Structure 1
Amino acid sequence: MTDLDLPEVTDFLAEHAPFAAVPREDLERLGRHLTVRYARRGTHLMSVGKGNDEVFVVRSGAVQITDENGSLVERGGEGTGFGTTALGGQPSRFDVVAIEDSLLLVMSSEVFTDLAGRCSAVRDFFSEQREARLRHALVSLPHQDRHSAVLQTRLRDLLRREPITTTGDATIRAAAELMAREQVSSLLVVDGDRLTGIVTDRDLRTRVLAAGLDTGQPVSAIMTAGPVTSSPDAIAMELILEMTSRNIHHMPVVDGDRPLGMLTSTDLMRLERANPIHLVGDVAKAKDLDALVLLSQRLPRIVDQLVHEDATADGIGRIVTAVGDAIEKRLITLAEQALGPAPVPYAWIVLGSQARLEQGPGSDQDNALVLSDEARPEDLAWFESFAAFVVDGLVACGYPPCPGGIMASNPEWRRPLREWQAMFARWVNEPTPEAVLRSAIFFDLRILHGERRLVDALHAQIAATARQSGRFLAHLARNAAHNEPPLGFFRGFVLERKGEHKDRLDLKRGGFHAIVEIARVQALSRGLPQVNTLARISAASGAGALAPETAANLHDAFEFIRYVRLTHQARQLREGRQPDNFVSPEELSSFEKRHLRDAFHIVRSAQQTVVQSYPLGFVT
């Protein structure tokens, strides 16, 4: 560009983001390396799948950017920049067409890379564009190779009839006659237009017939008061999650307090997605381990169906966890039936992905026992046998043992409360690498069965001590920043170099698990109680530990990477293989490859933020 044009171009760039934040002397240096290109209306400036080695800024005119599916991503006029995602030989994921006669300022990849390296505002601006595109990709996911959108159906559209109601003072006999006449398995109990309770055919069996109750008694004597309800604007996927996690088969749909109707697990059969609800119910009734093993074999098909419909990765994780919880609870009940009652109160806790409601196919088991301080030496044999029964049962049901031995069958993870409290205090006050590793999984803790007061006491200590220990948080932060995303030069993938997963991409270590670690340390730094990763991200953002933009980007990256993993694992399950976290690049679609790069870049940026937030240089 000639010196005569330089002031005008410099002034133009200074009026548009991100160049407005670039020092004047750097803008002038940039201007000397720009060229001008004219594009007539209709000119294709970039095409999906084709390489690019230039970055463009619209000087005048306008361009339209669409994705590989033809969906509109952006229309931009003066100051619009594009081309950064296809640098370094990467195929473009977008079509860019001039929709008006346009003048373009063009810089080579070398010039752009130099500028971005010297000016964080430029680097961050184009990173934000990348993040916006990942969000666009997530919105597009339900339409990628999926059969329908049934799980997005609003509950109001599933209601097939007016609500069948009775009043609390109606007799049990009259209620049973009404249910028979209307051929329904439940009634809504109302006071005027307000829902007050629900009575089901199970209530009639267990609370009336089995108990020999007089059927002239009022329905209010046997109803479930204040039942769980759902909004008519909720979607079917949310209903399935709620009913699966609670193991219930009837859900009143209400507008405020006014009942609109009842949805049952039978209604959901129309969506062909009732399987997890019925599976959880069947698990709760299993008579022995053999029955549980057979039931557990139904889970892979459910996962495969959900992956190929419009369920989110988070939703699938919650359903898989609900099934895992049900199996583990049933094993606990069977163990107590076989061994007799526990000698002292206890709490069975789950850790890791199960505690976070993020289990996937093939997840190993992580669990522990918190015993009452009343436990005597002679009581420990019972708990040893109890833990072995449950852990071995989980293995038989397809939940592999934890490679690190984090299981209640290991005496190290089966202790009275006072010992847990003392051990945790040592972990925080003397954060050795092993202590940090053990405590990290212990922060992801959820009670599954037993005395909640034991776990509440431990939770209170964890929340109080971790937040106050800057040195310990720095160790956790170092771990969060240590496992870098598998991105190399020019944002190519870094594959495993040896071992059984050679030449495959690890989606866990520097991918979704890195986000788990980032969310954990940021939540703990504010003393937040959430355990689920997405809930931690949201809470950390609300508490000021994460910028809102960073939180939104991490949410999207977490969802997308887990979606790719679930797709991979569903394929492995169909082929009769053990699911894992290592995917071959050849099995990824171009859509998945492109947006995985964006997701990994977001993880890397968030890790850099963590490094800046904690004095990692003093951690040894």
Structure 2
Amino acid sequence: MAGDAFDFSVPPFDRLTDGERAKVRAVADIAYYRPQEKVIVAGEPVDFLYVVMKGLVAERQGDEVITVHGAGDSFGAMALIHGAEAADCEAQEETLLHLLPRQLILDLCRVNGRFERFFTHSVSERLAERANVESARGMAAFMVARVHEAYLHPPITVPASTTLRDAARLMKHHRATSLLVESPDGRIGVLSGSDLREAALIEEKPLTTEVGDCASFGTIMIDADEFLFNAQVLMTRHSIRRLPVVRDGHVIGVLELLDLLSYMSSHSHLVAVQIDRAGTLPELAQAAQALDPLLTGLHGSGVKIRYIAEMVSDLSRKMQRRLYGFLATPDLQQHSCLMVMGSEGRGEQIAKTDQDNALILSDEVDPDSLRSLCDQFTEAMISFGYPRCPGNMMVSNPEWCRTESQFRDEIFHWVMTPSERSFLNLAAFLDSEAVAGDPLLLHRLRAYLFDRLTDNAGFLANFARPALSFDTPIGFFHQLVLERGERKGTIDIKKGGIFPVVHGVRALALEKRLHTRNTFERIDGLVGERLFDTAFAADLTEALQFLMEMRLAARVQQNRLDANGSDNYVQAAHLTKLQHDGLRDSLRIVKTFKQLVAHHFKLGSF
């Protein structure tokens, strides 16, 4: 029977029960189509859901190819289920199709909601679902646990007027390691056991001292329904060991580090502690080596790649802040600003990428006097596993260690005499984030840059142009286009997918004077500026996340194989069906986005 050859491993048929699969086998038929033979004629009734067994089918609106369906793909569902007008569907080569009758599909949709939702999801939802299916193969329960699922210490709240003696007695009675302190104005602070010991033993404060004078206010809190992983991100970023947990505006408990670590196996907070405690360069180098195993552990965990990248970027910044603290005197730190750029500046780092850093100095500091310090910084980063920047965008390059006034002159030059190099420098500077020292030095320069760029359409168009520099590796029939020569059989997902999105969004954000650095936050901001609608923004976000996840997977695979290849490339032959389809959908979205950028900046006329 025709149904015996039906592949139930591909979506949405993998969602069917055994009984439902039996019904498909009983009625599935097979049809053969010659090249250029019409499968569906636009406007005519559709009686079957078609599933490609072998071959290619192009779906067209007029002369434009909307999409191409290959083995495992289904088409005709919208016309079949929702009565939408069908597009022309034509075989592009000898093609075998499974034909599933209309009534069967309607019956399956009526009794199986997961099956029905497959046909109503947007592209972004399909990409997210594919990512979830892939990650579920290695997903650990703790990575999707909610905060309230971990052990929460009962909240013990005391007024700020409570004495240290009474606080100590309360903590002993309740066997608590911390207290919540409520100030007269309603703010909530935290008094830890170490805070109490430091006040009483080191600072020798009287035991009658009020805890309001010793507690830490401006407390970071987390919602009980947040992912436990997000609590880990907060602890890592802010170097804290406990988080008050709130629900409906009320504190319901306190999550402590040890309890969080009972759920989490990646131990990113321990990496942060290791960085903080490093007293020598070798100890800091040892902490840096923990980043690669951390990435390997997080890959396939179910955590969205944007949050993994955010955490890795935070750890890398923390490490460079610590390194700069080793090398720079306290006085120099007060009169300088160490900044990072590129993916690290955007909070999108998923590996130990090439160094992209710079040093802004107060005008009274002589840059030439810091050459040795800057060389030490770069060499230390190399020893930590961060390669030199091919473009020499590092503090050891005098061009990237300047006074505030000198950088201001450089920015003026980038804007007034645009060139490929000045655009590259400008792009890096737009993504910069202060890591150590005085952040106001960078803040003033960024403000100056935005002030210089007012309604300069020609400049902005040329700045955006590199987003179109590389071909998107997807063909006319939406098939993946593979590299040839030395990289035969691979796809460069950075040039073909990630870079066009990152830079195109950066250019649009610059035009709209959005000061955010992160690409995902820029996309959200551009929705507010009405450049994107919500649906397209969701598609673009999911496409970028999918491409970043593919890049991380390539990175992890290379580490396992001890390979020397670039993590920009993925081997097409190694892709699963889900990965192949997700990559194809993502690149289609990238291609549409590039068309939007070209139209918006009128690049055809420049």
- The TM-score normalised by the length of structure 1 is 0.80
Within 5 Å, which residues of 2 pair with 1:310-325? 310-325=302-317
One-letter amino acid of the counterpart of residue 452, structure 2:
T
2:494 paired with 1:508: yes
The Cα of 1:283 is off from its aligned counterpart by: 0.3
* Structure 2 equivalent of residue 170 of structure 1: 162
* Structure 2 equivalent of residue 370 of structure 1: 360
Within 5 Å, which residues of 2 pair with 1:86-125? 88=92, 97-100=100-103
Q: 1:38 to 1:369 in 2, by over 3 A?
A: closer
The Cα of 1:488 is off from its aligned counterpart by: 2.6
Does the CA-based 8 Å contact 2:51-2:73 persist in structure 1? no
Within 5 Å, which residues of 2 pair with 1:513-524? 513-524=499-510
The Cα of 1:91 is off from its aligned counterpart by: 10
The Cα of 1:467 is off from its aligned counterpart by: 4.2
* Structure 2 equivalent of residue 349 of structure 1: 339
| Mean CA deviation greater in 290-299 or 351-360 | 290-299
* Structure 2 equivalent of residue 9 of structure 1: none
* Structure 2 equivalent of residue 77 of structure 1: 82
User: Deviation digits for residues 203-244 of structure 1, max 9, x if unmatched?
Assistant: 234444222222321111110013111112222122122221
In structure 2, C-alpha distance between the alignment counterparts of 1:611 and 1:570, rounded to whole Å: 35
User: Structure 1 residue aligned with 2:530, among 544, 549, 556?
Assistant: 544
Within 5 Å, which residues of 2 pair with 1:5-44? 39=47
2:341 paired with 1:359: no
* Structure 2 equivalent of residue 419 of structure 1: 406
Q: 1:141 to 1:102 in 2, by over 3 A?
A: closer
The Cα of 1:189 is off from its aligned counterpart by: 1.6
2:146 paired with 1:141: no
| Mean CA deviation greater in 156-165 or 296-305 | 156-165
The Cα of 1:350 is off from its aligned counterpart by: 0.7
User: Structure 2 residue aligned with 1:203, among 188, 192, 195?
Assistant: 195
In structure 2, C-alpha distance between the alignment counterparts of 1:45 and 1:380, rounded to whole Å: 68
* Structure 1 equivalent of residue 50 of structure 2: 45
The Cα of 1:285 is off from its aligned counterpart by: 1.1
Q: 1:169 to 1:343 in 2, by over 3 A?
A: closer
Query: SS at 2:83's partner residue?
Result: coil
* Structure 2 equivalent of residue 8 of structure 1: none
The Cα of 1:313 is off from its aligned counterpart by: 0.8
User: Deviation digits for residues 98-120 of structure 1, max 9, x if unmatched?
Assistant: 341899xxxxxxxxxxxxxxxxx
Does the CA-based 8 Å contact 2:41-2:88 persist in structure 1? no
One-letter amino acid of the counterpart of residue 456, structure 2:
S
Within 5 Å, which residues of 2 pair with 1:250-399? 250-255=242-247, 257-273=249-265, 275-336=267-328, 341-342=331-332, 345-375=335-365, 379-399=366-386
| Mean CA deviation greater in 204-213 or 427-436 | 204-213
The Cα of 1:566 is off from its aligned counterpart by: 1.3
Q: 1:165 to 1:96 in 2, by over 3 A?
A: farther
In structure 1, C-alpha distance between the alignment counterparts of 2:317 and 2:94, rounded to whole Å: 44
Does the CA-based 8 Å contact 1:477-1:521 persist in structure 2? yes
* Structure 2 equivalent of residue 112 of structure 1: none
In structure 2, C-alpha distance between the alignment counterparts of 1:294 and 1:555, rounded to whole Å: 35
One-letter amino acid of the counterpart of residue 303, structure 1:
L
* Structure 2 equivalent of residue 4 of structure 1: none
In structure 2, C-alpha distance between the alignment counterparts of 1:275 and 1:391, rounded to whole Å: 27
Q: 1:601 to 1:255 in 2, by over 3 A?
A: same
Number of aligned positions between the proteins:
543
User: Structure 1 residue aligned with 2:576, among 572, 576, 589?
Assistant: 589
Unaligned runs of 5+ in 2: 1-37, 62-68, 107-118
Does the CA-based 8 Å contact 2:336-2:360 persist in structure 1? yes
In structure 1, C-alpha distance between the alignment counterparts of 2:81 and 2:494, rounded to whole Å: 37
Q: 1:38 to 1:456 in 2, by over 3 A?
A: closer
- The TM-score normalised by the length of structure 2 is 0.82
Query: SS at 1:223's partner residue?
Result: coil
Does the CA-based 8 Å contact 2:598-2:604 persist in structure 1? no
Percent identity between the aligned chains? 26
User: Structure 2 residue aligned with 1:457, among 433, 437, 444?
Assistant: 444
Query: SS at 2:222's partner residue?
Result: coil
The Cα of 1:347 is off from its aligned counterpart by: 0.8
Q: 1:131 to 1:458 in 2, by over 3 A?
A: farther
Does the CA-based 8 Å contact 1:44-1:97 persist in structure 2? yes
One-letter amino acid of the counterpart of residue 470, structure 1:
A
Does the CA-based 8 Å contact 2:506-2:519 persist in structure 1? yes
Does the CA-based 8 Å contact 2:127-2:542 persist in structure 1? no
User: Deviation digits for residues 500-532 of structure 1, max 9, x if unmatched?
Assistant: x44321110121121101110111111111100
* Structure 2 equivalent of residue 487 of structure 1: 474
Does the CA-based 8 Å contact 1:45-1:98 persist in structure 2? no
* Structure 1 equivalent of residue 110 of structure 2: none
Q: 1:98 to 1:80 in 2, by over 3 A?
A: farther
The Cα of 1:470 is off from its aligned counterpart by: 1.4
Does the CA-based 8 Å contact 1:504-1:585 persist in structure 2? yes
Unaligned runs of 5+ in 1: 1-29, 58-64, 104-128
Query: SS at 2:140's partner residue?
Result: coil
User: Structure 2 residue aligned with 1:532, among 498, 501, 518?
Assistant: 518
The Cα of 1:410 is off from its aligned counterpart by: 0.3
In structure 2, C-alpha distance between the alignment counterparts of 1:514 and 1:91, rounded to whole Å: 34
In structure 1, C-alpha distance between the alignment counterparts of 2:101 and 2:153, rounded to whole Å: 54
One-letter amino acid of the counterpart of residue 79, structure 1:
A
Please give the root-mean-square deviation of Cα atoms over the aligned residues, in Å: 3.4
Does the CA-based 8 Å contact 1:56-1:81 persist in structure 2? no
| Mean CA deviation greater in 562-571 or 322-331 | 562-571
In structure 1, C-alpha distance between the alignment counterparts of 2:73 and 2:40, rounded to whole Å: 38
One-letter amino acid of the counterpart of residue 299, structure 1:
L
Q: 1:101 to 1:259 in 2, by over 3 A?
A: closer
Does the CA-based 8 Å contact 1:487-1:493 persist in structure 2? yes
User: Deviation digits for residues 155-204 of structure 1, max 9, x if unmatched?
Assistant: 22324442133332222233233334433332212369966210113323
Does the CA-based 8 Å contact 1:467-1:526 persist in structure 2? no
One-letter amino acid of the counterpart of residue 269, structure 1:
L
2:391 paired with 1:404: yes
In structure 2, C-alpha distance between the alignment counterparts of 1:34 and 1:334, rounded to whole Å: 70
The Cα of 1:50 is off from its aligned counterpart by: 3.8
In structure 2, C-alpha distance between the alignment counterparts of 1:564 and 1:89, rounded to whole Å: 30
Does the CA-based 8 Å contact 1:88-1:490 persist in structure 2? no
* Structure 1 equivalent of residue 218 of structure 2: 226
| Mean CA deviation greater in 247-256 or 320-329 | 247-256
In structure 1, C-alpha distance between the alignment counterparts of 2:309 and 2:40, rounded to whole Å: 53
In structure 1, C-alpha distance between the alignment counterparts of 2:311 and 2:284, rounded to whole Å: 17
The Cα of 1:253 is off from its aligned counterpart by: 0.9
Does the CA-based 8 Å contact 1:352-1:445 persist in structure 2? yes
